[in-house]
Structure formats: structure tokens, C-alpha cells
Structure 1
Amino acid sequence: MTVRAPYRPPRDRLWFTRTRSATVFVLRELTSVFVAWSVVFLLLLADAVLSGTTREFAALAARPWMIALNVVALAATAFHAVTFLNLAPKATVVRLDGWRVPDWVIQGGNHSAWLVISGLIAYFVLRSS
């Protein structure tokens, strides 16, 4: 009597490419690496400011590979933020007096707040230069 192993179908390693929503989901999850890099970069900047080594940090940040990495990180972080904010209406149901607030209002509020806060940060950073 021969014992056979149970059948295991072959794995499709590119399963997420079949639908647009799955592809966007996987891309958003992968962009988390660049979001984490942005946090590390800002922590390195804060450490350089506190320890008085801003010239060394500026020299590191001015290297072409670092500029390229930060440009990619900026694009990935923007993609991550936009797709995350677009999912907010699915995760948060807001009701006012029994009436459900439409998805576009929640999305618009999130994107508007992001734009206003980014504008304020840019104003204060650029003003002090």
C-alpha cells in the first residue's frame, strides 16, 4: 500500500496582479517601508540638530543616492497617504441624526485637512529659511 501526500495546488505568487484593488492594496502595504524610512530620516535629522552635527547630516543628505531615495520615499509616502485616506469612509461610518454622511464628504474632509496641515508646515518651514 502506497501512502500519497495530500494534494497541494501550486501557489500563484502574483495573485495580487489579477485585480486592481488587490494590486493597490499590496502596493500600499509595500510603501510602508518608505514611510518607515521617512520616519528614520526625520529622527536622524532631529538627532543631528540636537547634537550639533547638522553639517555632517546635510553632507549625507546631499548625496545623489540619498536624494534619489528620499524622492522615491516622498512619492511612496504620498501614495500611501492618499490610498489610506481614500479608505477612511469604509472604516468609519459617520451618522448625524440618523443620516449617514456620504463617503465623498469624509474623503474630502480628510484630504482637505491633510492639505491645510501640509500648507501650514510648509509655511513655517519656508518662512524660517
Structure 2
Amino acid sequence: MTGPARTYRPPRDRIWFLRSRAYTLFVARELTSVFVAWTIAYLVLLVAAVLGGTLADFTALAGRPWMIALNVVALAATAFHSVTFLNLAPKATVVRLDGWRVPAFMIQGGNHTAWLLVSAVLFWVVTR
């Protein structure tokens, strides 16, 4: 008698995503979610500092060079995440008007325009 049959398991390719530009961008976009989460946590800490009366301590922490560097990287990663998310919208949503399918470039253009307008309003509110 022989032992239990062994199943074939091909060796894992741990860098599979580097073999295609599309896969590399996909993995990079997914990794930027960590920086999106950091940005949300940072804003929650800011709100807690304002409401808790510890804004001076928060600004001291925010002014440290490593924190500034982290937030600059987070800004770039969040911008990349946002742009790629908005570019994927036409693939996830089909918009029809009286049977006519709205082209992808119009959906993308609308998304990017709305993002730009909301950013401009927020910039105006923060800097006035």
C-alpha cells in the first residue's frame, strides 16, 4: 500500500505583480489605502485635539520633520488613490440617458471636475 496521494503545488511567485504594469499599479493603489487610513486617523486626532483643548500639543507633534514627511507622502498617496478611483468609476458604473450610454470620458471628467470644485471650496474655507 502506498501513502496518501500528494497534490501538486506550484511554487509561489511572490513578485507576480511586478510582471505587468497594470498589476503593479493595482497593487500600488491598494497599498495607498494605508495612507488614506492614516489621513483619516490624523484628521480624527486633529478634531480630538481641538475639542479636547490640546491643540498646542498637536501642533507641536505636527511640526516635527518626520510627521511633515509622513503627511507629504500621505498626500501624494491619497491623491494617487483618488485619481485612480475616479478613473475606475466608468468601469464600475454604466450611466444611461434615454437609452444612450454616457461615454467613459464624460463620467471621468465629471468626477474629476467635482473633485476639483470640492477641493477649491475647501481650500477657500481653510485659507480665508
Q: Which TM bucket (shorter chain)?
A: over 0.9
One-letter identity of the residue aligned with 2:90: P
The gaps in structure 1 that reach 5 residues or longer are none
Aligned residues: 127
Shift of the alpha carbon at 1:2? 4.5
Partner residue in 2 for 1:27 = 28
- Write the distance in 2 (CA, Å) between the matches of 1:26 and 1:40: 22
The gaps in structure 2 that reach 5 residues or longer are none
Matches within 5 A, 1:103-118: 103-118=104-119
Name the TM-score, length of structure 1 as normaliser.
0.95
Q: Does 1:77 align with 2:83?
A: no
Shift of the alpha carbon at 1:5? 2.5
Aligned residue for 2:110, secondary structure, equals: helix
One-letter identity of the residue aligned with 1:92: T
One-letter identity of the residue aligned with 2:102: V
- Write the distance in 1 (CA, Å) between the matches of 2:98 and 2:19: 41
Q: Deviations over 1:83-111 (max 9, x none)?
A: 00000000010001111000000000000
Shift of the alpha carbon at 1:124? 0.6
- Write the distance in 2 (CA, Å) between the matches of 1:76 and 1:2: 55
- Write the distance in 2 (CA, Å) between the matches of 1:83 and 1:38: 17
- Write the distance in 1 (CA, Å) between the matches of 2:6 and 2:99: 56
- Write the distance in 1 (CA, Å) between the matches of 2:19 and 2:79: 24
One-letter identity of the residue aligned with 1:44: L
Matches within 5 A, 1:42-121: 42-121=43-122
Shift of the alpha carbon at 1:22? 1.1
One-letter identity of the residue aligned with 1:70: N
Identity over aligned residues, as a percent? 70
One-letter identity of the residue aligned with 1:90: K
Partner residue in 2 for 1:40 = 41
- Write the distance in 2 (CA, Å) between the matches of 1:41 and 1:69: 11
Aligned residue for 2:89, secondary structure, equals: helix
TM superposition outliers: structure 1 runs of 4+ over 6 Å: none
